[in-house]
Structure 1
Amino acid sequence: MELDLAKRAIAGDERALVKLLAQHEDTLYRTAYAYLKNEHDAIEAMQELTYRALKKIHTVKEPTYIATWLVRIIINICLDMKKKQEKLVYNHEIELASADHQPFEMADIITSLPTEQQELIYLKYFQDLKNGEIAHLKQIPEGTVKSRLHKTLKRLRVLIAKEEL
């Protein structure tokens, strides 16, 4: 039954995919909850799983591993969410640290960068795009994205240090 549903889902049958998701809902939710440690985030991860599964089901090569594929997706979603949460905590720590000195806004510092560097920062850290995605979007090599980001972050550190004085 599950193998048949998996084959139909891979072939584009959305109802079959929804049934598969329902069959594995408990396992997937428990996995999300174990990673994220709260119900709200786990539910959000499940919603994202549904979206990603619908978008990428056609990439599954072996229908017998559909459950493993779904678990892998939920784990990746949870890891992405944890990274975002860590960034928020880090940004909050920067704000708290700067509150000890003369207050500054990160947005003000970013806007003092050249437009191209601002765009890199926003694509990478506010839109959470990967270097390869940025390279494709800007039609430049990925290595160029990496070196420009490195240069931009170095410049940001200098600007932040000046603001803290």
Structure 2
Amino acid sequence: MLKNFKRKKVEKYIIDNRNLFYRIAYTYTKNEANALDVVQESIYKALSSVESLREYKYVKSWFYRILIRTSIDYIRKNTKYSKMMDISEVNDTGKYDQYTDIDLEEALNTLSADYKTIIILRFFEDLKIEEIAEILNENTNTIKTRLYTALRKLKIKIER
């Protein structure tokens, strides 16, 4: 009975935040279909292991951890395909879509997964350092150090 109740609450949380999860997955995969695959796999993993969630108040960090790890795993498994262009990236005139900040996107892609994850969670998802530390199961000082290192690396990449 208690397990069913917890599962229903987790399902509601996932449904309520599905767009957010898609956006995070998309920042890693850069492809709509792949992002949907990552979200689907993350939901499957979460619902399969719902009993590992000790308290519902940790559902956010618990699911983010699953989503980020699934995203990184997906990229590692599909690196040879990630360099290929997705047909949806071509508009009607046959040109690539123009991103408003292509330099930032390219610089982010050069960062390691650890640094990229922190930047995405801090600036694109607007999470606090303490929340990021909880999601990544790290010390807050470690997160701060990685954040400042990542920002320094981004600055160097963008200034070139």
TM-score of the aligned structures, taking structure 1 as reference length: 0.44
Higher helix share: 1
- Structure 2 length normalisation: TM-score? 0.45
Report which structure shows greater RCO (CA 8 Å, sep ≥6): 2
Q: Radius of gyration: which is bigger?
A: 1
